[in-house]
Amino acid sequence: MSTTQSERLRGLLEPLVTKVGLDLEEVKVTQAGKRRQLQVVVDSDEGVQLDAVAELSREISQALDASDAMGNGEYLLEVSSPGLDRPLTEPRHFRRNTGRLVKFTLTAGGDTVARIIEVDDEGLDLEVPGVKGRKPKPARLAFGEIAKARIEIEFNRKEDGAADTADAETDSDENTEEA
């Protein structure tokens, strides 16, 4: 049975990422001419600290040097946390974004913009913003009803968002370490 380079890389990197308490979200190899780039995206429920990204980057670099997973040519390694524009696809992605406004594309068709209130094993409890001065209303979406979901960036939240202000500051900078 043949495995792809991404599968081999994931198999090599996942134990390193898990060891430091992070989740491996994405492994992507891109090539432009002779230049190759390996992007490793990691996350956790507590967020990702720059020091952790730097240490993980060194460990990944050592592991790659000791293996043939990237072949013999040169490459650029980039270890980062996901940006705000990444799609929400796993229950943990929704859980990590509780309190945020999200645009949902539904499997039955149509879009809904709502704030995530709570996440459980089956789906999401949401608050759909009121229109033209009306009060927000509760809604429920099962994970199976969601075709796509992305965070809606809020520059000026009208409600008491003191806790969200700190989140917006940390989420605006994507942690990146290049080796």
Q: Quick one: pLDDT at residue 11?
A: 92
Q: Given a cut of 60, is residue 92 above it in pLDDT?
A: yes
* pLDDT single digits (tens) 49-91: 889 899 999 999 999 999 888 877 788 999 998 888 889 999 9
Average pLDDT over residues 98-106: 95
Q: Give the pLDDT of residue 9.
A: 93
pTM of the model: 0.69
Q: What is the pLDDT of residue 160?
A: 45
Which pairs from 161-167 meet CB under 8 Å and 24+ separation? Answer: 163/99, 164/99, 164/100, 167/99
d(CA 129, CA 43): 29
* Whole-number pLDDT of residue 178: 52
Q: What is the pLDDT of residue 171?
A: 43
Higher pLDDT, 3 or 128: 128
What pLDDT is recorded for position 101?
Answer: 95
Q: What's the rounded mean pLDDT across residues 90-112?
A: 94
Beta carbons within 8 Å of 105's beta carbon, 6+ residues apart: 111, 146, 147, 148, 149
pLDDT tens figures, 119-173: 999 999 999 998 888 999 999 999 999 999 999 988 876 554 434 433 443 443 4
